[in-house]
Chain A
Amino acid sequence: MAGHPQPLSPRPGIIAALSVLAVVLAAFGAVLWRAEPGGGPGPADWAALRFTVLQAVLSAVLSVALAIPVARAFARRRFPGRGTLITLLGAPFLLPVIVAILGLLAVFGRSGWLSALLGLAGLPPVQIYGLHGVVLAHVFFNLPLAVRLILQGWQAVPSERFRLAAQLGCGPREVWHLLEWPALRRALPGALAIVFAICLTSFAVALTLGGGPRATTLELAIYQAFRFDFDLGRAAMLSCIQVAVAGVAGLVALSTLPEGGFGAGLDRPVERWDGATPGARIIDALAIAAASLFLILPLAAVIAAGLPGIASLPPPVWRAAGVSVLVALASTVLLLSLALPLAATIAIRRRGWLESIGLLGLTASPLVIGTGLFLLINPLTDPFALALPVTAVVNAVMALPFALRALVPGMQDVLRGYGRLGLSLGMQGAGFWRLVVLPRLRPQIGFAAGLCAALSMGDLGVIALFADPERATLPLQVYRLMGAYRMQSAEAAALLLLVLAFGLFWLCDKGGRSGAEA
């Protein structure tokens, strides 16, 4: 498409990309400028890098591999409550880390439900701590995201193609080769890259479920450099390694994205004739049931733990909930104003590497970004005055890669399918956005907005340096309650957080899909 006239200008997207790049680079620069020159990485750092990459690769591959049968089942089946179930399965992704760990351990821990079951059969408890525990937790977090990204890839295939396949007498195997696999090929690299990037910055999950310092990740090494050794140079260097690894992974994955799509359809509801065999029915039912159990049981534990205390939650928790909702909304607006033009530019220019810029914000250590921004802002004004805006910006930047993954394929289809028609009718810029892109991409926009709002509620970018005590966010209050021994209130506040994050996600996602096929 490059070089041909387009109804959208790539310029706003380039400005958005440069803004994100500027925020990240300025933060890095500030830290480096303040740092004293230090040595290169030592043996312990290489060990941390090896473990980090190993667990991230395993987590990404397993999350995505397990997501395929689940997404396929959801793509082929229509049943009451399907949409709700898809949305509900996204909840683990939205949980604050500490809450998710406790939920997971309630099911898989030494005294968890599974161990209790094994005990009834006279078997020893589950041994959850170790590399497999880290991967299990990461799959728990990321499986839903992978399912959604793959499902979206398949839903981009117009119903006309499935009709054609059915008409040609294609069974499940042929449909797989003709339609599902090519669509999957478009969704897989992005899904892998993004889950890999998320797991790359894991710290508390990796340490806790990894069972000790064997499970030292780069992010922990960065944390140590900061608060233990106060070695800013080392922190920045380690963060650079982290970003470089993510950048390379992103480039490798996104450059393998195949060209071409399935063309435009007429928005007819998709009907899948290929899944009618008894075998396919059983496989799909098993996939959905297994995924639901795996994802919903720990959530049930979180809910069960939180319910008793919810009525007696102290007022500061409710205040914090209000603050968090505001931050989430601001982040979401900001995110969309970055992600939409950037997605358009990526679709127009066919430049996968532009999408790696989105990964930057996610993989640059929040600690380094937070410190850098603090160093930049502190000489100018009271950081607390900017606490909420900074939190909103950081959250938006961190949610950018998710939004891009959701938006770019759809944007490519819109431009490919309707770009010429829009051009021939003189729709340019704002008009094309309003009349074509926004209505056509409503489901993806709703999903991206919901994800960002929910992630901001869970406070992806917890920045201690900007945490204004008088305007604490809900996740901070959860940690504070725990720190004050108030476990029951903390669990109730975590449940409130889950409900609010999930509610925001549900509203946006539902809003995007209403009237359209899920």
Chain B
Amino acid sequence: MLKLDGLEIRAGTFSLSADLEIERHARIALLGPSGAGKSRLLSAIGGFITPAAGRILIDGHDVTGTAPGDRPVATLFQDGNLFPHLSAVENVGLALRPDLRLSRGDRNAAEAALDRVGLAGMGARKPAALSGGQQSRVALARVLLQGRAILALDEPFAALGPALKAGMLDLVAEVADETGAILLMVTHDPEDARRISRQVILVADGAALAPRPTQALLDDPPPVLRAYLGDARRPG
């Protein structure tokens, strides 16, 4: 369970408040206009931004001051999810040993995770030798192995084509189900939200609202979302 308790994020003129709870096994999309603070909210949950006020509780533990690596949160960023100088299996192995002193067992587990995301036999390759979709899969394999309570996705598949992205999202949903993690996913595309998230947190006008069922929200969007969705649908 994730609880944002009176959370305030500020940076210059930007501010965002969040006061909400997310149940275990939830799959949630963060929707809202550009610049509303979706990524910042994810960064705060991941521990990369220190909030100005409030607390972040995961399964009842206050992690507000906890280092990112010590939080039960696995984050996939828009880019830079892999170290270019490490092989695929090493990138995955980091999930088990941040110092990369991998035992044979660790290595096998990493290879197995790569198998699971459809990259069997590609463990020795460096990221530059993998396609964009394959790179995303390596990152997912690592998330799978991390087995964290929260899986935070900051549009990691934005650069992939629609078919590839849909495939990746399905894979993410499977990973989340396998690990039992809460899935938090920033997206601009309501179709992404419909595809895998059961609930949506609307981030707009300086606040992140409590999660609401995806279907109901998208079928009858509140004004702010309607304006945004309208924008999003306009060609160009």
Cβ of A267 under 8 Å from chain B = yes
Interface SS majority for chain B: loop
User: Is B48's CB under 8 angstroms from A425's CB?
Assistant: no
In the complex, whether A428 has a CB less than 8 A from a CB of chain B is yes
| Cβ–Cβ < 8 Å partners of B67 in chain A | 5, 423, 426, 428
Which of A3, A268, A422, A425 is the one whose CB lies under 8 Å from B128? Answer: A268
When distances are taken between beta carbons in the complex, the residues of chain A under 8 Å from B100 are 431, 435
- Chain A residues touching B, range: 20 to 34
User: Interface residue tally of chain B, by bracket?
Assistant: 20 to 34
- Let me know if A5 and B50 touch, CB within 8 A: yes
Contact, CB under 8 Å: B85 / A425: no
- Min CB–CB distance A407 → chain B (angstroms): 17
Mask, B71-84, CB within 8 Å of A = 1, is 00111010111111
Q: Give a binary string over A410-431; 1 marks a CB under 8 Å from any B CB, 0 the rest.
A: 0000000110111111111011
Look across to chain A and name the residue whose beta carbon is closest to the beta carbon of B69: A426
A253 CB → nearest B CB, Å: 28
Asked if A14 CB lies within 8 Å of chain B CBs, one says: no
Q: Does B223 contact A (CB under 8 A)?
A: no
The answer to whether A423 touches B47 (Cβ under 8 A) is yes
A9 to chain B, nearest CB (A): 12
Checking B48, B50, B79, B80 against A423 with a beta-carbon cut-off of 8 angstroms, the contacting residue is: B48
Asked if B70 lies at the interface with its beta carbon under 8 angstroms from chain A, I say yes
Contacts A5-B48, A428-B69, A439-B85 hold; do A420 and B128 have CB atoms under 8 A apart? no
Q: Does A513 contact B (CB under 8 A)?
A: no
Q: Which chain A residue has the least Cβ–Cβ distance from B143?
A: A424
Partner of B98, one of A267, A418, A425: A425
Min Cβ gap B98→A in Å is 4
CB of B190 within 8 Å of the partner chain = no
Query: B68 contacts the other chain (Cβ, under 8 Å)?
Result: yes
Which residues of B126-140 are within 8 A (CB) of A? 126-128
Q: Are B77 and A421 interface neighbours, CB within 8 A?
A: yes
Q: Does any Cβ of A come within 8 Å of B200's Cβ?
A: no
Partner of A426, one of B48, B50, B70: B70
Measured between alpha carbons, how far is A124 from B4 in the docked complex, in Å?
A: 84
Q: Could you pull out 21 A-B pairs where Cβ atoms are within 8 angstroms?
A: A4-B48, A4-B49, A5-B50, A264-B80, A264-B84, A266-B127, A421-B80, A421-B83, A423-B48, A423-B68, A424-B69, A425-B69, A426-B69, A426-B70, A427-B69, A427-B98, A427-B99, A428-B98, A435-B94, A435-B98, A439-B85
Binding site for A on B (CB under 8 A): 46-50, 67-70, 73-75, 77, 79-86, 94-95, 98-100, 126-128
8 further A-B contacts with Cβ under 8 Å, apart from A421-B83, A424-B46, A439-B85, are A4-B49, A263-B80, A266-B127, A267-B127, A418-B83, A421-B81, A424-B47, A431-B99
